[in-house]
Chain A
Amino acid sequence: MKLVRRFFIRFSNLTTGPSGDQRLQDEIAEYLAFQTEENMRAGMSSSEARRQATIKLGATEAIRESHHAEYSIPVIENLFFDLRYGIRRLLRSPGFSCIAIATMALGVGATTAIYSVMDATLLRPLPYPHPDELVRIEDDLPGTGAQDVGVSVPEWRDLQDSGVFEAVSIASHGADVNLTGAAQPERLGFKAVTSNYFAVLGEDAQLGRTFNPHDATPGYNLEVVISDGFWRREFGADPQIIGKSLRLDDDEYHVVGVMPHGFRDQGSTSEEQNTELWLGAGYSGLPFPPPQRGVRIRRAVIARLKPGISIVSAQQRLDALVETLKKQYPGDYPLETKWTVRLIPLGQSVVSSVRQSLSLLFGAVGLVLMISCVNVANLLLARASGRAREIAVRQALGAQRKRLIRQLLTESLVLFLLGGIAGFAILFCAQRYLLRLVPESLPHLNEIAIGWGVLAFALVISAAAGTIFGLAPAWLMSRDDLIGTLRQEGRGSSGSRGRSRARQILVISELALSLVLMVAAGLLLRSFWDLYKVQPGFNPERLMAVQTWLPGPNDPALDRYLTATQQSVLVREVLRRSRTLPGVQEVAVSDLAALPLGHNHGAVDPMSLIREGQEVRENLAPVIGGSVVSPEYFHVVGLSLLRGRLFTDQDIQGTPEVAVINQAAARTYWPDQDPVGKRVHLRTKREGNRDFLNSANATWTTIIGVVGDARTESLAEAATPELYRTVYQHGSKGLVIFLRGQLNSSAISALVRQQVQSIDPELPVFNAETLDEVLSASLSVRRFAMEMVAFFAATALLLAGLGIYGTISYLVSEQRRDIAIRLALGAQRGNILRLVLGQGIGLAAFGTGVGLVSALVVSHLMSGLLYGVSPADLPTYGGVTLVLTAVAVAASYIPALRAMRVDPITTLHVE
């Protein structure tokens, strides 16, 4: 307690130094007066009395010092003194300070930038209360090789009753709906969620309410919760919004609540997170398929665990539940499928797609930071040689080594911290520009903010770097041989061997780190290039796609686009009118799944493929991705027919069902056979009937043709089996209109909208893009990672080059005397050049050796991100080594030239 009190008093005394000293002076004066009087009383003369009194007092300075040490806190005072001194020194050598600060700014700035992206994306993916309780539930059928097949409604109820979860909700991935009634029909994204969804997330509305968790409406309950952004945009933040109605897909919904500003839905894409409408749904009645155990709904199942239950124990209990259910309903869960239920922490599942890329980036930028620090440490050591004399003198005068190290360390810290703050400041000012470089598909893009947390990170990193990289120079600088330095003999040769060795080690590590970065960049570049150049299998040139959405009201009786026949009227009209647009050569229509690379995983309709004579049990059947296209599609998109025939206008509803497959499907499901003519049953999730195979719905579909493979799912995946059906037999609510020709891409959207709305004025037309744009958007995250790493590698190379240049220059200036003596003794200038270059190349060789080994390790860690390039790709490694060696030689050449031109006479004369 007393210590605390003393500390606070001394702390407040930090600023009142002079008054404390004044008090002591008064006391000393009093003492002298008293003692002099005493002495005079004892019989001494006044001058003698005074003198004796002073002797008895002792050394005044020592008293003042120890008094001051008690009065305030010496450690903090010394710190302030060191700081002021350090800053003065930095101001005195502005060139050095600028270079060092700029280098650190670059390193810390880049690291902080990547950290801010990681912070928004990976570290805080779920802005809800108790996020670690949120899980995603996925059903797998490993027996048929299928993952995430969706739950059925009875299973959902079983999960809710299992006692493991607070609540289990179902949410769609984000679907389209038409908003009509306003000036223009608008397409909006919405999520159909069970009524306990918001309870699971733990978020409440700012106006009105969210859905009642106990609402058990089987279909849609015709209530809608809207987002803050939508509320402001469409209704001008009208406070009377609650109860207003919206016409969505021809159904009337009532607004019951508005979510708070800044609320983000969970999801792995920005589009999901920016959902603006939530519709309450029970998933048990129209328009949903019947709630039977065998009918799976492919939606996200989000649940909140009961507090206190860990994921591991929850998983165990679920496994037990699964076993029980399998025994209870053997018909729905045949043993061969090996049905399992998997729990994934929600935070993980929403960022899994970008985690690897971001970790790579963070690793790369960490290397850049290290190289920057090494560079600055090198600079500090270089400056040290100029201060050797000063430090030696101070030590000779009695400065303690610890004190010196503290002071030198403070100087380094000031440098590193200033660099870090500069880096942060630049980042802060440039954040808007930099954010534009980030690909849009990055989740949580709008949450990347340069705020206090990021500043704290920058400061911590700078301080840590300053301590680590400033300690070595400080240590070395205070270890000088006093006598040798003071005599100024052998200038630089003996006393600084430690420094010289340290500099060489630093440069070698710099080179190694740069090599690793450059190898990583090279490999990524090659991957990206290969991917970019890969033949997509379709022809994206001069091809544009525009989307529209047909309304799907909840009551099928009101749906004017219910059957394929009803839709085909629209489709044929759209095709006919689009052909008349200026510049258009060909037109086709398809559903969203057939837009190459332009759809996400959830848009593809997976169907059970039951081949005639092969699959007997429908739940054992393999699953194939299916889409719906118009007959012109294959030609417009550029898929070539390999066998059989394509669709014709005669394949309509009522005539035998036909399908076209791609070559991958043919190879996978009919190996060594001709698939043309074979018959299959196809069952999608829409047709929900357990006895499907025996019911009237089970029609045979005949394979009529095989088309070539195209990389329509992802450029990196070569051949995914695909099955196409004709739009005149199976409709689709989401339509994509393809147009090929000499098109004016900015005008096309309006023109197509005109045409479509002249047929049905309530259809929205949106998302006009060229296929080239779609293609490059699919590569955007990869491209971003590659560009960043390449930038870092270039920076690293530059810094490493500067590092070598600095070190060799320093070596040369150290060895001036040796060189002068050699020249005087008759060495050729060419020999000197070779000598110095040899030193540089020696360093480079060491650095390259260490770097190559590290690069091999790192590239193996990275192999998941590479495409078409092995982690030990010889040309990349060879090329990078060549470049690095060339830079090292060039950087050594200039100091070598300078060494060559040393004039022996003047050099030796001066010494």
Chain B
Amino acid sequence: MKEKQDVLQGTLALMVLKTLDILGAQHGWGIARRIGQISGDILAVNQGTLYPLLLKLEQEGSITSEYGTSENNRRARFYGLTASGRKQLQAETREWEQNAAIIARFFKVKAGDLT
């Protein structure tokens, strides 16, 4: 039970950071919607997981939050990426790409390649 949540939280954090990186400052609902869009509607973000995650990232110093106005003139809390958050994003992106490359190599191996 715990492990699933961990993986989910870890990848969700990456997605949130990437979203903020691409789109700039966003509010909570916006982040959830964009992640849903980018994943092709496969992932439906649970607000119960998102809000605690945003809090955790803010406490860690990867994102900041402040009040602002949205596009339809609503007052909302906007989250933005910090410098250390950007660094964390870069580091984790590299790690993911490395892991994906290793796994891909394994999938490409045929019986004949191994002796």
Contact = CB atoms under 8 A, between A and B. Distances in A.
Contacts of B33: 38
B72 A10 contact: no
Contact of B47 (A5, A9, A23, A57): A57
Contacts of B27: 30, 34
A234 interface: no
A388 B106 CA distance: 58
A62 B33 CA distance: 21
A6 B29 contact: no
A58 B77 contact: no
Contacts of B76: 30, 34
Interface stretch (A64-72, A314-322, A407-415): A64-72
B85 to A, nearest CB: 11
A651 interface: no
Nearest to A70: B52
A34 B29 contact: yes
B52 to A, nearest CB: 4
Interface in B68-84: 70, 72, 74-77
Contact of B46 (A6, A27, A31, A58): A58
A203 interface: no
B56 A27 contact: no
Nearest to B56: A70
Contact of B59 (A9, A28, A66): A9
A2 interface: yes
A35 B29 contact: yes
A35 B56 CA distance: 24
Nearest to B51: A67
Contacts of A26: 77
Interface in A417-458: none
A75 interface: no
A59 interface: yes
A123 interface: no
A69 B52 contact: yes
B10 interface: no
B61 interface: yes
Contacts of B49: 66
Contact of B60 (A2, A27, A59, A69): A2
A6 B59 contact: yes
Contact of A37 (B52, B60, B72): B72
Interface in B14-30: 27-30
Contact of A6 (B48, B52, B56, B74): B56
Contact of B55 (A37, A57, A71): A71
A131 to B, nearest CB: 49
Contacts of B51: 24, 27, 63, 66-67
B56 A62 contact: no
A31 B28 contact: yes
Contact of A62 (B48, B60, B72, B75): B48
Interface in A26-72: 26-28, 30-31, 33-35, 37-38, 57-59, 62-63, 66-67, 69-71
A10 B46 CA distance: 23
Given A30-B76, A31-B29, A34-B74, A59 B48 contact: yes
B58 to A, nearest CB: 9
Nearest to B77: A27
Contacts of A62: 48
B95 to A, nearest CB: 16
How large, as a class, is the contact surface on chain A? Answer: 20 to 34
B20 to A, nearest CB: 16
Given A27-B77, A34-B29, A66-B52, A10 B47 contact: no
How would you classify the secondary structure of chain A's contact residues: helix, strand, loop or mixed?
helix
Contacts of A63: 47-48, 51
A69 B55 CA distance: 10
A388 B60 CA distance: 44
A28 B77 CA distance: 11
Given A57-B47, A58-B48, A63-B48, A30 B28 contact: yes
A62 to B, nearest CB: 5
B46 A30 contact: no
A10 B61 CA distance: 13
Contact of A5 (B46, B55, B61): B61
Contact of A30 (B29, B48, B55, B60): B29
Given A5-B59, A9-B59, A57-B47, A27 B28 contact: yes
A24 B48 CA distance: 11
Contacts of B60: 2, 5-6
Interface in A66-99: 66-67, 69-71
Contact of B74 (A9, A27, A30): A30
A70 B57 CA distance: 10
Interface string A3-27: 0011001100000000000011011
Contacts of A10: 59
Q: Which of B30, B48, B51, B55 has the most CB of A within 10 A?
A: B55
Contacts of B29: 30-31, 34-35
Interface string B28-67: 1110110000000000001111011101100111000000
A67 B27 CA distance: 17
A33 B72 CA distance: 11
Contacts of A57: 47
A32 to B, nearest CB: 9
B92 to A, nearest CB: 13
Given A30-B27, A33-B74, A70 B55 contact: yes
B55 A2 contact: no
Nearest to B54: A27
Nearest to A6: B59
B71 to A, nearest CB: 10
Nearest to A37: B72
A34 B73 CA distance: 11
A57 B46 CA distance: 8
A69 B52 CA distance: 8
A10 B58 CA distance: 11
Interface string A511-532: 0000000000000000000000
Nearest to B70: A34
A28 B48 CA distance: 10
Contact of A31 (B47, B53, B55, B56): B47
Given A27-B28, A30-B77, A33-B74, A2 B61 contact: yes
Given A2-B61, A58-B46, A67 B74 contact: no
A120 B55 CA distance: 53
A37 B72 CA distance: 10
Contacts of B52: 66-67, 69-70
B101 to A, nearest CB: 27
Contacts of A31: 28-29, 32, 47
A9 B77 CA distance: 20
B33 to A, nearest CB: 8
A9 B29 CA distance: 25
Contacts of B53: 70
A6 B60 CA distance: 6
Contacts of B30: 34
Nearest to B67: A26
Contacts of A27: 28, 51, 77
A866 to B, nearest CB: 62
24 contacts: A5-B60, A6-B56, A10-B59, A26-B77, A27-B51, A28-B47, A30-B75, A30-B76, A31-B28, A31-B47, A33-B74, A34-B27, A34-B30, A34-B70, A34-B74, A38-B33, A62-B48, A66-B51, A67-B51, A67-B52, A67-B55, A69-B52, A70-B53, A70-B59
Interface of A: 2, 5-6, 9-10, 23-24, 26-28, 30-31, 33-35, 37-38, 57-59, 62-63, 66-67, 69-71
Which 9 pairs of residues, A with B, have the shortest CB-CB distance?
Answer: A70-B52, A34-B29, A63-B48, A30-B76, A2-B60, A6-B59, A9-B59, A31-B29, A70-B55
Given A28-B47, A30-B29, A58-B48, 12 more contacts: A6-B59, A6-B60, A30-B77, A34-B29, A34-B74, A38-B33, A58-B47, A63-B47, A63-B48, A66-B48, A66-B51, A67-B52
